[in-house]
Structure formats: structure tokens, C-alpha cells
Amino acid sequence: MTTAFVLVTLLALLVLGLDRNHVRTATTPRSRLAGSTDAEDRDLLRVTAELRSAAPTRAREAVSARTAARVRPASATR
């Protein structure tokens, strides 16, 4: 009986602590990321420009048993 009471008390304290921490961090202005958010993503612009300027590729050829990659046996001797 004492063990059950101690476990329930510890569980209640854990839930109370987690809830208090969640409420405290969710309402403060520090919860947002630091820095400005109006920055321009140059990587996205560069990749988009590269994809637009790249020549279109032709469709992939069908892979058959004759054109598939050759696999060498995993033995130490050649």
C-alpha cells in the first residue's frame, strides 16, 4: 500500500512538473526562434535556378539482366 502511494505521488509530481514547464515555455516570447524571419533563402533560389537551367534528361532505359550491374563474389581470391 505504501509503495502504491509513493508511486502515485511521484507520478503526480512528474505530471505537475511537465505541465508547469510546458505552460511556462509556451507563453513566453523566447519560445520563438532567435533572429529575423524575413531572410531570403538563397539555397532555395540557387537550386531552383539550377533546375530551371538544366537540360531535360531523357527517360531511363529499361534495365535487363544483360545490362544490369555485374556483382563480383565476396571472396578474398581473384
The pTM (predicted TM-score) of the whole model is 0.32
Q: Supply angle C-alpha 65, 66, 71, rounded to 5.
A: 75
Q: Closest by alpha carbon to 11, among 25, 23, 3, 26?
A: 3
d(Cα 31, Cα 38) in Å, to the nearest integer? 18
Query: Does 19 have pLDDT greater than 70?
Result: yes
For 41, what's the count of Cα atoms within 13 Å in the CB-facing half-sphere? 7
Residue 74 pLDDT level (bands cut at 50, 70, 90):
confident
